[in-house]
Chains A and B, each alone.
Chain A
Amino acid sequence: MKKTPIWGMWLFTVGAFAFVVAILVLVKAVPLETFSGMVTGALGTPGGWRGTLREMTPLLILGAAVFLALKAGLFNIGADGQYTVGALAGVATALAVPGPLGMVLALGAGCLAGALWALPAGLIKAYKGGHEVITTIMMNNIARFLTVALVAGPLRNPAQESATTKILAKESQLPILIQDGPFRLNIALFLGLGIVIGVGIWLRTTVSGYELMATGANKRAAEASGVSVAQTLVKAMTASGLLAGLAGAVHVLAYENRFYADFSPGFGFDALGVALLAASNPFLLIPAALLFGAISQGTSAISILGVPKGLSGVLLGLTILVFAVFRYRKETPHA
């Protein structure tokens, strides 16, 4: 088969960009003003940086979670649901046990909840061949209904009009390191960076990391050289869920400080984009998370100009497609 010419990919990129411009014109926004507003809103002011780094934190951890699964050949679309249950478990634990001990327990509870939420998808994939994309999406829906019911029922703060938990006490929150005018830097960002670097080192230097990547590269070859593919798949999916749950717990302990109905703005799906952009290098998760954090913060900033927040979805989807066209082609047509 003939190879796709390189100009075709650039044409596709230009087409994607033209599409965004056309949409902006259609909704009566000035494209140049919108783009410059996004850049200034995300990276041009201390307050913008605060928001960008805040959005970046869960994307780092969730990106590492999705990346880990992707290296084993699994699409963890369920990161969003695992993140949600992790966040709720984290809040519930931190409310029950105040102080630093509660903080540690809350992070652990988040990990546990996320891992348990991912486990069925891993088991079904490994032993029954049911596709993880569908099972994890179903688990996302169940997570939404369950957490909404819990926050409207037993965990609800009766003093509030809407369905939300109580706000965590100051000593249960992850501390802010730098506070300068509108700028804030929470320790959670460094936790996220540490997790990304840890996952990168783990994948590249340990036996279990190697087995995971071997499974993702070629199941048959991995099995033939003594790797238990089924077990590796279950472990990879569970570990991915664990990290996603941790991301939820970190996000509530550091930034939101409470849980409310429909908690996730779709971080789990953004994380798929982050992991895809990082491609084969785990350390590229850091700039990828920064980019998606900036897009998210930038579109929030320009929503004042009357451009809806949904623009971030358009940019996210097109970024995935354009990047995939350059990076994720199948090299040989023969299996």
Chain B
Amino acid sequence: MLSLFVLSLTLSVPLILAALGGLTSERSGVINIGLEGKMLVAACITGLVGMASGNAFVGFLCGSGAAVAMSLLHYLVTQAFRVDHIISGMGLNALAVGLTSVLHKRLTNPDFTDRIPGFPVQVYWVIAGAAVVGIAWYLNRTKGGLRLSAVGNDPDKARQMGVQPTLVRFYALVATGLFCGLAGSLIVTNAGSFTENMTAGKGYIALAALILGGWRPLPALLACILFGFFEALQIQLQGQAILGVDLPSWVWQSLPYFVTIVALAGFLGKNQAPAGLGRP
């Protein structure tokens, strides 16, 4: 029972970090379905650079830098060129899958059999916990946080009040990149090596957790832990009979995704999006 609890928390940390990345972006009004791609790129670059340099910090820095670069590409395309946010996000995700596949296939050192150097996972736990509290405080208690919400809720009115939506969104998307960088480097550190498409939809699950949490930090955290719990349940209970019923393994594997659908159907709470989501 205790191990299930610990496993739930372990599995929820990447989700929490990614969800926070989604939160800063979406509260500023930028829809971000590209979390997945940013995490994947961060995981790949962290792995490749970490492998080449043997230094956890250098690897993390480059991985996060790549995620921030992806995030700024999203900024450029959605804010400067005012492209539909979902189209941009899908394009970035496709780019990320292809790019990481090419880089991984061609640049991975086949003689390197060690684990990729990384920080101890506890570092990520502390950062994730502190960031949730910090962002909750920042959003509700500081001028910058109120500006962020103002831009996300009504960009036109914010503009009239002298707040530059594009500038606020720039910083918001840099933060998104950093959080996705953390999430990606944690994923590759946990696994020990990079494999193609290793984020396996976690970016989308994090986004669903964000929606389920009503775009607020603490409820989003709880939603992430809930998804982590279902994933842990899947790992621990797969192949065991529950109340005399032996569920096939694909049902267990589908469980986190199924819960996400149920959550989006509004059975686990109401969806309350920022009013200005997707508006220029």
A residues contacting B by CB (< 8 A) are 1, 4, 8-9, 12, 23, 26-28, 75, 77, 120, 124, 128-131, 133-135, 137-139, 141-142, 145-146, 148-149, 153, 266, 269, 272-273, 276, 306-318, 320-321, 324-325, 328-330, 333-335
Contact = CB atoms under 8 A, between A and B. Distances in A.
Contacts of B45: none
Contacts of A334: 156
Contacts of A8: 80-81
Contacts of B258: 138, 142
Contacts of B103: 23, 26-27
Given A137-B204, A324-B91, A128 B265 contact: yes
B101 interface: yes
A324 B250 contact: no
B250 A312 contact: no
B77 A317 contact: no
B216 interface: no
Contact of A311 (B82, B98, B264): B98
Contacts of A131: 211, 264
B82 A329 contact: yes
28 contacts: A9-B81, A12-B81, A23-B102, A26-B106, A77-B90, A124-B261, A130-B211, A134-B33, A135-B264, A137-B204, A138-B208, A138-B261, A145-B250, A145-B253, A307-B102, A310-B101, A313-B94, A314-B99, A317-B92, A317-B98, A317-B99, A318-B95, A321-B73, A328-B87, A329-B81, A333-B156, A333-B279, A335-B279
Nearest to B155: A333
Contact of A4 (B82, B106, B211, B265): B82
A133 B86 contact: yes
B156 A129 contact: no
Interface in B65-94: 73, 76-77, 80-84, 86-88, 90-94
Chain A contact residues: helix, strand, loop or mixed: helix
Nearest to A121: B261
A132 B276 CA distance: 19
Given A128-B266, A146-B250, A148-B250, A134 B211 contact: yes
A325 B208 CA distance: 27
B270 to A, nearest CB: 9
Contacts of B91: 317-318, 320-321, 324
A131 B101 CA distance: 29
Nearest to A27: B106
Given A145-B253, A266-B97, A321-B77, 6 more contacts: A27-B106, A75-B90, A138-B201, A269-B94, A314-B102, A321-B95
B140 interface: no
A314 B97 CA distance: 8
B204 A138 contact: yes
B254 A146 contact: yes
B192 interface: no
A271 to B, nearest CB: 11
B96 A317 contact: yes
What are the 6 tightest A-B residue pairs by CB atom distance, in nearest-first order?
Answer: A313-B98, A317-B95, A310-B101, A130-B264, A320-B91, A317-B94
